[in-house]
Chains A and B, each alone.
Chain A
Amino acid sequence: MTTLKEQTVIQEAFKNRMDEDELLNCMRCGFCLPSCPTYVESGFNETHSPRGRIALMKAVADGLIEPDEDVERSLDLCLGCRACEPVCPSGVRYGHLLEEARDIINQNKKHSLPVKAVRNLVFNGLFPHQNRMRTTAGLLGFYQRSGLQSAARKTGMLNWLPKNLAAMEKVIPQVPKLREMKNRPTYFSSAKPVKKAAFFTGCLMDTMFLETNNATIKLLQLAGCEIHIPQNQACCGALHGHSGEKQTARDLAKRNIEAFEKLEADYIITNAGGCGAFLVDYDHLLKDDREWHERALKFSEKLKDISEILYELEFHKKVKLELPGQIITYQDSCHLRNVMKTSMAPRKLLNSIEGIEFREMKDADRCCGSAGIYNIVESEMSMQILDQKMIHAKSANAAVIVTSNPGCLLQMKLGIEREGLSRKVKAVHIADILVEAACQKEK
């Protein structure tokens, strides 16, 4: 609930802070409508479309309506997938508008005590601190290995959880041991290095998905990169930026820029589309900061997704890729596709694996409903979107669904679990399947 007093403050902040030119840049042609998952899934409700949301933001800024619960609801239900951006002929940067609007609402709204405590713990206490991330993941690992997990499953304790949280519990990957997470080297050489790559390991990727990070390092080595892993890097801040915690996001951005700029690497590599899209936007995040903007630009220019760099360095031509016969499909990471503009490279790489058939599923470019923590906070819409996605995945008849972002990966695993397909279909990160396919014999 937002009080009337809060509404007035929020309205004022909309007036002062929302980018008027960007709001006016939307000429309301509606070309974005068919690309918006929530517009389609809500039964063509303009309130849940990009055009509608921009109109609402503008109306609040213009004083035409108050930022009431319905306005907030409209913004909350947005996945932030940004599929509306590449289809917008006017080039409206919707993602920036959404981020600012959410930041305003969040900064000026009094959350209830429990919500405040959870937000504070997650956004400030946990994600910015990689050591705490490791410890938390370590606890999860303890839960998985100690027998607690099987006990919880056997006793039916998990039935106490909401349905999709219980399913989520099943799909969380086996967490590596704390020791493995802590003791990874910070430099990897390559046989004949041609490029110097700095690896942005990501907070979630470097704990729960450590194996995927190791695979990424291996692929970069095979492609001819020496790899540096700066120790002082932090969470990218995407989670904060998307949830109205922009100041923390800026602090994290600065830490990352500082950690990477000294290395003077040719590339900064990520393997998580969600992080990549936020990192590549650091120059926008820090646009009002004179000292940092230039440094952010240099950082963003070097940023590349793993599949993009592999394709560019012709990894698929240097290394023989082969797998047993099966159908493989690819689910785009929205932010990788819509913000980092990487959609062709992963498909080309997968297509070059011998023995398999690469088959597109319908609407592979449409969000899977994961969207950060969306699948937890907006689980109804998220599951509706996921169910639609699984219909397409099933008709592609694929044995493997490849993704390129941890959130999407978990969501696809969840979808497989919900459909009862876990024996027939698996979801993997592109780095893992490429490593599996690489026979490590140079052509």
Chain B
Amino acid sequence: MVNIQIKEKLISIVGAENYDDSKAGRLVYSYDATPNFQSMPDAVISPRNAQEISSILKVCSSSGVPIVPRGSGTNLCAGTCPTEGGIVLLFKHMNKIMEIDEENLTVTVQPGVITLDMINQVEARGLFYPPDPSSMKISTIGGNINENSGGLRGLKYGVTRDYVMGLEAVLANGDIIRTGGKLAKDVAGYDFTRLLVGSEGTLGIITEATLKLIPLPESKKTMLALYQDLEQAAKSVSKIIADKIIPATLEFLDQPTLKVVEDFAQIGLPTDVQAVLLIEQDGPIEVVEKDMKKMAEICKKQGAVSVQLANSEMEAEALRTARRAALSALARLKPTTILEDATVPRSEIANMVKAINEISQKYGLSICTFGHAGDGNLHPTCPADARDKDEMERVEKAFEEIFIKAIELGGTITGEHGVGVMKAPYLELKLGQAGIDAMKAVKAALDPNNILNPGKIFAKDNRKRVVVSQ
């Protein structure tokens, strides 16, 4: 609880205009993009620099007030939902691009920078920052780093983790540390950069990041492969990789997803087929053309009924934008949209797609599947209604089975959305008790008072639940 003394201390740090504890002001930061999670913070604070954050953390540490850093609140694991109250910390004043270093190929940013704004800035200089989560138009870099976000280009270029070179972060005790730097090689001590990436705000508050850039590929082509059979599409994915081609994007959308996406985007997507693959390659023009031709052949051989090349960059961008809207578009179907991101080794994609279909039939649910098939990261999504308790129980069971199947196939419970609160009960499936204990030891060492985004990653008990709260 934030009492009057704590409130006064916090206001003396950031100023009254950057401290809000009105009901409306707190309510609008009580949620993120995760269905069925909502919890009121005690206050919302908007510091202007790392020094202020340090002072805030000292206050929180000494008084045991939880603190939840939040970017734009687009995450899908309830990672920024203040489930234990406390303070939500915003970065709206810390949203500058500090430097684009064309000699070292780096960009240094404050955490509140919108991902797409930064991407546009670096691309204007012929440079490339590949991680492109579907929410990049809204999400912040700070949020991306804390969730280790992936995206459509993950399979060829990797995820956020692979581009973070150095960080400035404030620890729970208020100490400000710097990790890494503009260095291709650096083995001075533990790799704290990697530890902080994907830590979901539980180990420290990131206040600045230096990110790696690469040269912008000189050309790019986009195509759609259409299938009347889900598994043929999934098999094409494994075949393409096995044929030693790594496309820039290899996305999968099933028919129900195609229908809602087309409903929204109205760009003439095929809705009379069972599945499509959205395939892209970038690089030198000769290589791109050769790869696209080869991949088209593979798709046809696997049973694609047609393969269509995008005629212009505008058409290609429309396809990508439509794909990025898939999750939100599925929300058209029913009031509550439960989505997961179970991930398997890409050779197992076909088996996973098959299993998801069997599980959805078993529980009488309609599960729509789309996702980054190329890197084994699928998003089975279940349109449901939170008011229908029986249905929610079935969703719960179905997703548990999907997680178990993913682990069985050598996969993980979450590929890119994070654990947060939503998947905390399943973490043990992936890590085992010893794995969880090791992680808890790190958390306890860095945040002994448990003030940094408490209640996330580690479940309070082992009761499995994704959606049903009792």
Contact = CB atoms under 8 A, between A and B. Distances in A.
A33 interface: yes
Contact of A30 (B23, B138, B335): B138
B395 interface: no
Given A28-B33, A30-B73, A88 B28 contact: no
B453 interface: no
A32 B276 CA distance: 27
B331 A25 contact: yes
Nearest to A29: B328
B92 A91 contact: no
Contacts, number: 97
Contact of A88 (B30, B90, B328): B328
Nearest to A68: B23
Interface in A253-312: none
Contacts of B386: 24
A91 B23 contact: no
Interface string B259-271: 0010110000000
B335 A24 contact: yes
A27 B328 contact: yes
A215 interface: no
B24 A56 contact: yes
A213 interface: no
Contacts of B328: 27, 29, 31, 88-90
Contact of A65 (B24, B31, B74, B325): B24
Interface string A28-44: 11110110000000011
B27 A27 contact: no
B92 A89 contact: no
A102 to B, nearest CB: 16
Nearest to A32: B138
Nearest to B26: A65
Nearest to A71: B24
26 contacts: A25-B335, A26-B331, A27-B33, A28-B31, A28-B33, A29-B33, A29-B74, A30-B33, A30-B72, A30-B138, A31-B135, A31-B138, A33-B138, A44-B90, A44-B92, A45-B92, A55-B30, A56-B27, A59-B27, A66-B23, A70-B24, A71-B24, A89-B326, A89-B329, A91-B264, A91-B332
Contacts of A432: none
Given A24-B335, A29-B328, A33-B72, A65 B35 contact: no
B73 A65 contact: no
Interface in A51-92: 51-52, 55-56, 59, 64-66, 68, 70-71, 73-74, 88-91
Contact of A89 (B23, B25, B28, B331): B331
Give me the 3 closest cross-chain CB pairs, A-B, nearest first. Answer: A89-B328, A70-B24, A24-B335
A66 B26 CA distance: 13
Contacts of A64: 27, 38
Interface in B158-187: none
Interface in B278-331: 325-329, 331
Given A27-B33, A27-B337, A91-B264, A55 B329 contact: no
B76 to A, nearest CB: 9
B24 A29 contact: no
B27 A25 contact: no
B137 interface: yes
Interface string A13-33: 000000001001111111101
Interface in B6-34: 22-25, 27-34
Interface string B28-57: 111111110010000000000000000000
A66 B24 CA distance: 9
A90 B28 contact: no
Given A89-B264, A89-B331, A65 B27 contact: yes
Contact of A90 (B22, B25, B329): B329
A46 interface: yes
Interface residues of A, number: 34
A27 B24 contact: no
Nearest to A42: B92
Interface in B117-147: 135, 137-138
Contacts of B347: none
Contact of B25 (A27, A34, A47, A59): A47
Nearest to A47: B28
B351 interface: no
B24 A68 contact: yes
Contacts of A28: 31-35, 73
Nearest to A31: B328
A91 B333 CA distance: 10
Nearest to A45: B92
Contact of B28 (A27, A52, A66): A52
Nearest to B385: A24
A43 B248 CA distance: 35
Interface in A371-408: none
Contacts of A59: 27
B112 to A, nearest CB: 8
Interface in B383-432: 386
B176 to A, nearest CB: 24
Nearest to B116: A34
B336 interface: yes
Given A44-B92, A46-B29, A47-B25, A27 B72 contact: no
Contacts of B332: 25, 89-91
Interface string A351-367: 00000000000000000
Contacts of B35: 27-28
A45 B92 CA distance: 8
A51 to B, nearest CB: 8
A46 B73 contact: yes
A385 B38 CA distance: 32
Contacts of A26: 331
Given A68-B23, A89-B328, A46 B28 contact: yes
Interface in B70-111: 72-74, 90, 92, 95
Contacts of A71: 23-24
Nearest to A72: B24
Nearest to A27: B331
A82 to B, nearest CB: 16
Contacts of A65: 23-24, 27
